[in-house]
């Protein structure tokens, strides 16, 4: 069994499904991205949602308390919140204890450890329930070797963080499979890991080993096999550029797809920094990625047009494709433009 297969087998064993999604006391939809990601990409694994009374965000799934969810087959409660700092709020603890008492394990992608909350640790030990921290990388990650590996790789990169790299990678991986290709989605963040059932949380890996983790995540494969790797951060982000570079060097992508959001102009969380252009993003990723794969190329642009009407999205996509001389598409809208993007990635 390879190192990656061990990670996948362990992750599958550790993630009891189906899930009840916990939204905490969230009032900002952006902080519930884990819940929305699971709803959109693992809907068959979700029985409903549960939240504190003051929460105003909802996924549209049935609102169930832990006992009702358990009766409908749920095996775990997933903390569907990704707040600033990855903290477990004290106000959530009674609701998490309620889930344990109803017979559910708890799965968390937060930076904070579940077992560090005394009430959760004591209740889980008393009831023999599991507290599962997804944001915990394997312990035996090597330093990157830079060795060229067999198989093909596509990495989603971005002008910024939180603008569609995960959704783009998932869409592309599914599209490759529909075309009959041998492909796997490789998750690098907590939400992607919960969706896929495996992966490595790159932002929890010690910096010196991050490129090695990317190598481990996309090992040698058959010549026609595609690993579609979820990108993280941006080479231009003042806080998250390190993980982006480690992924770029370690995954050695043959193809990058650049992700951008329509009309976003400032860096998320750092509004004093203007967003780079798509052209700058392509150039820098190809220049730095060429260090470990000189054949790297850009397959096109994934444009997040969620804020636009269909007509506005079509017009902008066409204009950007003409301006850049590359295929541009919103993978969630699909259509002929997305098929052209896929064709160019596979060319």
Confidence at residue 86, expressed as pLDDT on a 0 to 100 scale:
79
CATH of 17-129, one of 3.30.930.20, 3.40.1390.10, 3.40.50.720, 3.40.50.300: 3.40.50.720
Give yes or no for a contact between 293 and 300, defined as CB atoms under 8 angstroms apart.
no
Reported as a single tens digit per residue, the pLDDT across 204-238 is 999 999 999 999 999 999 999 999 999 999 999 99
The residue ranges of every structural domain in the chain are 17-129, 152-346
The reply to whether 152-346 shares the fold of 17-129 is yes
Give the pairing of strands 297-304 and 270-274. unpaired
Of 223, 228, 135, 125, which Cα lies nearest the Cα of 174?
Answer: 228
Reported as a single tens digit per residue, the pLDDT across 264-291 is 999 988 999 999 999 999 999 999 999 9
Against a cut of 0.95, is the pTM above it? no
Of 111-125, 189-203, 316-330, 331-345, the least confident = 189-203
Q: What is the CATH number of domain 152-346?
A: 3.40.50.300
DSSP conformational letter for 322: H
CA distance 276 to 260: 10
Reported as a single tens digit per residue, the pLDDT across 289-337 is 999 999 999 999 999 999 999 999 999 999 999 999 999 999 999 999 9
CA distance 45 to 232: 24
Q: Report the half-sphere exposure of 265 (CA within 13 A, side-chain side).
A: 1
Reported as a single tens digit per residue, the pLDDT across 84-110 is 677 899 999 999 999 999 999 999 999
Q: Is the pLDDT of residue 5 over 90?
A: no
Q: For residue 19, what are the CA distances in angstroms to 37, 72, 105, 288?
A: 13, 10, 10, 40
Confidence at residue 268, expressed as pLDDT on a 0 to 100 scale:
87
């Amino acid at each position: 069994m390879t190192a990656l297969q061990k990670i996948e087998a362990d992750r599958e064993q550790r993630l009891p499904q189906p899930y009840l999604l916990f939204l905490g006391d969230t009032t900002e939809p952006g902080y519930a991205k884990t819940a929305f990601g699971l709803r959109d990409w693992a809907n068959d694994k979700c029985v409903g949602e549960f939240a504190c009374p003051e929460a105003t965000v909802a996924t549209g799934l049935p609102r169930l308390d832990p006992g009702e969810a358990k009766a409908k087959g749920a095996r775990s409660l997933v903390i569907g919140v990704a707040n600033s700092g990855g903290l477990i709020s004290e106000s959530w603890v009674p609701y998490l204890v309620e889930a344990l008492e109803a017979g559910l394990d708890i799965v968390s992608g937060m930076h904070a450890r579940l077992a560090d909350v005394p009430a959760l640790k004591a209740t889980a030990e008393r009831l023999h329930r599991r507290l599962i921290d997804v944001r915990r990388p394997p312990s035996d990650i090597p330093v990157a070797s830079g060795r060229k590996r067999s198989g093909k790789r596509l990495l989603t990169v971005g002008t910024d963080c939180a603008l569609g790299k995960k959704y783009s990678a998932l869409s592309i991986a599914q599209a490759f499979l529909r075309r009959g290709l041998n492909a796997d989605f490789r998750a690098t963040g907590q939400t992607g890991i919960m969706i896929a059932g495996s992966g490595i949380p790159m932002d929890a890996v010690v910096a010196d080993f991050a490129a090695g983790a990317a190598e481990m995540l996309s090992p040698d494969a058959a010549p026609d096999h595609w690993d579609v790797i979820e990108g993280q951060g941006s080479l231009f982000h003042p806080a998250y550029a390190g993980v982006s570079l480690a992924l770029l060097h370690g995954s050695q992508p043959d193809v990058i797809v650049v992700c951008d959001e329509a009309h976003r102009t400032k860096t998320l969380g750092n509004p004093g920094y203007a967003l780079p252009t798509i052209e700058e993003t392509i150039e820098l990723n190809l220049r730095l990625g060429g260090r470990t794969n000189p054949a790297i190329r850009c397959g096109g642009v994934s444009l997040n047009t969620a804020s636009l009407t269909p007509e506005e999205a079509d017009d902008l996509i066409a204009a950007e494709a003409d301006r850049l001389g590359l295929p541009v598409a919103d993978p969630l809208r699909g259509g002929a433009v997305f098929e052209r993007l896929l064709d160019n990635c596979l060319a």
